C-alpha cells in the first residue's frame, strides 16, 4: 500500500453550487446508515481504503465504483432507512448494533484481518512527505515551548566575524518565523493495523480495536496517536538548536487537542492510555493495582459514555475502567461517607464491588481501578473529604485527561479541576486537554498550571506542551446544513417548531424537512419543561403519542436521566428537549437534526450543540436556530460561525448567510459577551425578585400558545375553586368548635 499516494490526494472541498433542493432524501440522513467517510476533511469521497491508485492518472477526477472486496460496498445496499413513524424492520436492533460499530474511526464494520506481521519494517517518511500529508488533512501540530535563539547563518558575515574572532550573535525571530519554527510533522498513522506493526501495542488491545470496526483513522487519530505513542519529533527550531538537525524522539508531551465534534477524540486518548497501563502492568506484575489515570468530564452522561467506550477497548487486557460515584474512596485518608454529596455522576451499571462491602471499622475500601472517570466536583470532594484546602495527593497517577477542557477550566469547574490537577504529584504526569473549541485563555492557563506544578515539584526542564489543531479552529462541521430563522416572538418560535414537526405545513421560505430523531435545546430548565408540556401531544397516538417526546435536564433523578438516554438511543424517543447538559461530548450517531429553540450563550456553545449531528462525517444533518427581536444583539457570533461553515461547504453567498445581515447585526462588547456566556439572554433568565418589570418580561417570553385572556380566565376559575374550598374548610372548623363548647365539665366526684 502506497500510503503517501493515498493520503496526499486532493483534499479541496467541492465548491460548486449547492443543490437547490432543500429536502434531504432518506438515504442521506445521518440515521440512515453508515458514515460516508471516516475522515472529515478528505474532500473526495472516492478514496480507496486499499490504497489502489492509478499511476497514469486516468481515473483522476472520476468517481470510483465501490467494489465487492469488503472495503467499499454499494451505498444502496448498505443504507438502512429507519422509519420512526412505522413499526420498523424486525432486525432493527441488529442494524442499530451494526451502525453503532461505525465509530469515528470509520471502517467496514467487519474488523478486518491484520495482514502485516509485527516484524514488518516500515520505511519512515521524509519530512516533506509528512508535511504534505498533514497539510492535506488540515492537521497542524505546534511545539508551544519558546523556540531557542537561532545562530546567524550568513556565510559572508560569519567569515568576517571569524576573522575578527567574534562569535555570531543569536538572531531574534519574528512572530511569523517563530510560528514556522515551532511547527512539528509527526509520522501520520495510515491505518489502525500500524498500531501493532509500528508501535507494538498490546495484541489484545489491537484485536479489540479491530473488533469494534475501526480500520481507517480520522484526522485527530491520524495526528494524535503517533504523538502519544512515542513518535513525537522535535520542532524545526529545536533541531537547529541541537546542531545536527536530526529528528530525535522525545518523551510523551502534554497535549492540547482542538478537533471537530464527532471526530473520534475519545478513541484518540483512550488507546495510548490503555496501552501505557498494559506495559506498566507487564513491567511490574507483583505490584498491587493502583490508580494510574484520571479522566475528567463535565457531565454524568459523558462520564458514562467514556466508561462504556473504555470497557470495549479493555476487554481481556486486565485494565479496569471505573466511573466515580458517591461513597467511593480513592485515597487512604478520606472517608467514603463524606464524598460527593453535591453532585451525582457515574453509571449505575457494573458497580465496583469495593463500594458494596464495608470494612468492620465502617470505612469503604479504596477503589481498585486503573482508570477513573469522574466529574470534577465529585472527585475533588472525595479527595478533600468535603473540607476546604485539604486535598489528598495522588502520587500514582501518571496521566490526566480533561475531556471538554474549555468547560472544565471555565470558572464553573475551574477550582475543582485545578484541585485534582495539583493533587497529581507524580513527576511523570502527562496532561491531555481535548475539546472542539479552545480559547487562547485556556491555553495560557494550561501553561501557567504546568509551570506552577513543575516549580512546586522542583522540576527544572521546560514543560513540553504540544498543540494539535484539526481543520479551522473553533468552526462548525462543514457537512451540516445550517438554518438561521427569524421568528420575531416566542409564539413565532413555537409556530416554527411545529412546522418542523409537521413539514407538510412548512412555508416555502423555511422549507426544511427535519425527520426524527432530533434534539431541541433551550436556555433554562423551566423553559425545557414548559416546551415539553406544550409539545407532548403533538405526535398522534397512532405513532406513539406523548411517549415519543421527552425532556432531560439536571433536576431529574439519576434513574430518570438514564431511562431517557436509553430510550432515545433505542429509538423509542424521537424528540428530546434538553438544556446544554447534552451539548458537549455525548455521541448520538443517528441524530438527523438539532434545533436551537433558544440561541446558545456563545459561538462555542453553538458549535458543540450542532455537533450532536453530522457525527463521523455523516451527511444530511440539519441545524435550525430560531431567534427573536430580543436575540438580535446576540446573533452575530453565531451568524459568523454559520458563514464560515458554509464557506467550507461551498454554499454560494446568495444561498447562505447574507453579507448585509452580518453587517447589520450589532457587535457585542467583551462585558456583554461575558454576561451572555454566564447567564444567557436576559429576558429568559430565571425569575428574579427585583420588581414587576421582570414579571412582565417573563410573561412576554412564556412558552405557550394560549392568549393572555384565556390564561386570566383559567386563573380566575382556579382561584374561585380554591376560595370555595377555603370557605368550606373554615365553616367546618367553626361548626366543630361551637359543638364542643360546654360538652365536657370534668370528672364528677
Give SS3 for 158.
Answer: helix
**Could you tell me which residues are beta bridge partners of residue 255?**
432, 466
Q: Is 299 or 68 the better-scoring residue by pLDDT?
A: 299
**Could you tell me which residues are beta bridge partners of residue 433?**
256, 402
CATH classification (class only), 480-686: alpha beta
Give SS3 for 384.
Answer: helix
The C-alpha cell at 499 is 412546522
pLDDT tens digits for 336-358? 444 443 444 333 444 444 444 44
pLDDT tens digits for 179-228? 788 888 988 998 898 999 899 999 999 999 999 988 889 999 999 999 99
Burial of 570 (0-12, 13-18, 19+ CB in 10 A): exposed
pLDDT of the residue at 647: 85
Q: Which residues of 622-647 are buried (b: 16+ CB within 10 A; e: fewer)?
A: bbbbbbbebbeebbbbbbbbbbbbbb
pLDDT tens digits for 301-327? 999 999 999 999 999 999 999 999 888
- The answer to whether 127-147+174-351+363-470 and 480-686 have equal CATH topology is yes
User: pLDDT-derived band of residue 284, with 50, 70 and 90 as boundaries?
Assistant: confident
The C-alpha cell at 126 is 521524509
* Domain ranges within the chain, ordered by starting residue: 127-147+174-351+363-470, 480-686
pLDDT of the residue at 303: 94
Mean pLDDT over the full length of the chain: 75
DSSP state of 578: E
E strand or H helix that includes residue 470 = strand 465-470
Angstrom CA distances, 475 to 17, 134, 306, 438, 466, stand at 21, 19, 24, 11, 21
Specify the CATH architecture of the domain 127-147+174-351+363-470. 3-Layer(aba) Sandwich (3.40)
pLDDT of the residue at 353: 42
Q: Is the pLDDT of residue 27 over 60?
A: no
pLDDT tens digits for 501-549? 876 644 444 556 678 899 999 999 999 999 999 998 888 888 888 899 9
Q: Is 147 or 294 the better-scoring residue by pLDDT?
A: 294
* pTM, 2 dp: 0.75
pLDDT of the residue at 711: 60
∠ CA 410-415-418, nearest 5°, is 95
Mean pLDDT calculated for residue range 35-59: 45
Amino acid at each position: 500500500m502506497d500510503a503517501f499516494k493515498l493520503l496526499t490526494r486532493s483534499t479541496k472541498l467541492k465548491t460548486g453550487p449547492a443543490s437547490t433542493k432543500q429536502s434531504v432524501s432518506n438515504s442521506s440522513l445521518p440515521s440512515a446508515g453508515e458514515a460516508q467517510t471516516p475522515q472529515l476533511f478528505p474532500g473526495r469521497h472516492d478514496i480507496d481504503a486499499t490504497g489502489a491508485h492509478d499511476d497514469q492518472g486516468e481515473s483522476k477526477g472520476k468517481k470510483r465504483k465501490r467494489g465487492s472486496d469488503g472495503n467499499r460496498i454499494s451505498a444502496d445496499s448498505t443504507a438502512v432507512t429507519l422509519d420512526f413513524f412505522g413499526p420498523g424492520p424486525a432486525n432493527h436492533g441488529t442494524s442499530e448494533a451494526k451502525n453503532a460499530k461505525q465509530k469515528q474511526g470509520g471502517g467496514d464494520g467487519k474488523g478486518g484481518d491484520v495482514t502485516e506481521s509485527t516484524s514488518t519494517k516500515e520505511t519512515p517518511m521524509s519530512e516533506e512527505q509528512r508535511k504534505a500529508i498533514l497539510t492535506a488533512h488540515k492537521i497542524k501540530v505546534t511545539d508551544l515551548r519558546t523556540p531557542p535563539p537561532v545562530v546567524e547563518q550568513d556565510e559572508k558575515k560569519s567569515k568576517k566575524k571569524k576573522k575578527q574572532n567574534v562569535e555570531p550573535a543569536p538572531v531574534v525571530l519574528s512572530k511569523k518565523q517563530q510560528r514556522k519554527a515551532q511547527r512539528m510533522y509527526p509520522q501520520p498513522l495510515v491505518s489502525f493495523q500500524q498500531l501493532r506493526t509500528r508501535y507494538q501495542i498490546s495484541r489484545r488491545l489491537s484485536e479489540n480495536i479491530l473488533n469494534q470496526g475501526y480500520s481507517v483513522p480520522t484526522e485527530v487519530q491520524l495526528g494524535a496517536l503517533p504523538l502519544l505513542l512515542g513518535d513525537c519529533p522535535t520542532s524545526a527550531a529545536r533541531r537547529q538548536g541541537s546542531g545536527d538537525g536530526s529528528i530525535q524522539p522525545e518523551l510523551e508531551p502534554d497535549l492540547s487537542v482542538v478537533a471537530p465534534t464527532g471526530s473520534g477524540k475519545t478513541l484518540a486518548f483512550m488507546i495510548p492510555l490503555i496501552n501505557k497501563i498494559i506495559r506498566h502492568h507487564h513491567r511490574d506484575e507483583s505490584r498491587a493495582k493502583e490508580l494510574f489515570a484520571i479522566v475528567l468530564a463535565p457531565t454524568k452522561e459523558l462520564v458514562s459514555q467514556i466508561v462504556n467506550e473504555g470497557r470495549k477497548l479493555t476487554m481481556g487486557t486486565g485494565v479496569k475502567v471505573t466511573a466515580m460515584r458517591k461513597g467511593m474512596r480513592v485515597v487512604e485518608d478520606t472517608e467514603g461517607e463524606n464524598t460527593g454529596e453535591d453532585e451525582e455522576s457515574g453509571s449505575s451499571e457494573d458497580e465496583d464491588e469495593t463500594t458494596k462491602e464495608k470494612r468492620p471499622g465502617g470505612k469503604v475500601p479504596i477503589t481498585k481501578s486503573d482508570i477513573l472517570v469522574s466529574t470534577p466536583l465529585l472527585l475533588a470532594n472525595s479527595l478533600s473529604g468535603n473540607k476546604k484546602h485539604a486535598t489528598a495527593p495522588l502520587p500514582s497517577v501518571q496521566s490526566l485527561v480533561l475531556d471538554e477542557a474549555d468547560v472544565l477550566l471555565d470558572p464553573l469547574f475551574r477550582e475543582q479541576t485545578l484541585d485534582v490537577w495539583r493533587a497529581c504529584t507524580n513527576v511523570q504526569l502527562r496532561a491531555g486537554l481535548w475539546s472542539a473549541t479552545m480559547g487562547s485563555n485556556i491555553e495560557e492557563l494550561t501553561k501557567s498550571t504546568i509551570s506552577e506544578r513543575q516549580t512546586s515539584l522542583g522540576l527544572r526542564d521546560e514543560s513540553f506542551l504540544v498543540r494539535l489543531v484539526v481543520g479551522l479552529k473553533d468552526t462548525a462541521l462543514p457537512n451540516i446544513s445550517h438554518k438561521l430563522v427569524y421568528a420575531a416572538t416566542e409564539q413565532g418560535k413555537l409556530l416554527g417548531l411545529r412546522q418542523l414537526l409537521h413539514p407538510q405545513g412548512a412555508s416555502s421560505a423555511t422549507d426544511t424537512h427535519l425527520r426524527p430523531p432530533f434534539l431541541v435545546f433551550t436556555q433554562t430548565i423551566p423553559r425545557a419543561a414548559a416546551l415539553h408540556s406544550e409539545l407532548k401531544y403533538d405526535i398522534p397516538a397512532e405513532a406513539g403519542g406523548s411517549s415519543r417526546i421527552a425532556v432531560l435536564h439536571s433536576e431529574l433523578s439519576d434513574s430518570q436521566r438514564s431511562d431517557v438516554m436509553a430510550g432515545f438511543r433505542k429509538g423509542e424517543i424521537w424528540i428530546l428537549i434538553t438544556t446544554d447538559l447534552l451539548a458537549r461530548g455525548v455521541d448520538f450517531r443517528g441524530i438527523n437534526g438539532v434545533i436551537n429553540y433558544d440561541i446558545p450563550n456563545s459561538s462555542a456553545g453553538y458549535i458543540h450543540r450542532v455537533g450532536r449531528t453530522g457525527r463521523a462525517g455523516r451527511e444530511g444533518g440539519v441545524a435550525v436556530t430560531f431567534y427573536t427581536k430580543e436575540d438580535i444583539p446576540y446573533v452575530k457570533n453565531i451568524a459568523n460561525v454559520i458563514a464560515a461553515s458554509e464557506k467550507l461547504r461551498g454554499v454560494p453567498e446568495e444561498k447562505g448567510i447574507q453579507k448585509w445581515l452580518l453587517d447589520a447585526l450589532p457587535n457585542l462588547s467583551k462585558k456583554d459577551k461575558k454576561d451572555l456566556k454566564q447567564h444567557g439572554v436576559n429576558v429568559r433568565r430565571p425569575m428574579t425578585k427585583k420588581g414587576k418589570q421582570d414579571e412582565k418580561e417573563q410573561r412576554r417570553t412564556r412558552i405557550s400558545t394560549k392568549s393572555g385572556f384565556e390564561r386570566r380566565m383559567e386563573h380566575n376559575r382556579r382561584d374561585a375553586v380554591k376560595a370555595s374550598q377555603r370557605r368550606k374548610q373554615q365553616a367546618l372548623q367553626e361548626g366543630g368548635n361551637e359543638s364542643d363548647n360546654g360538652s365536657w365539665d370534668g370528672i364528677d366526684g
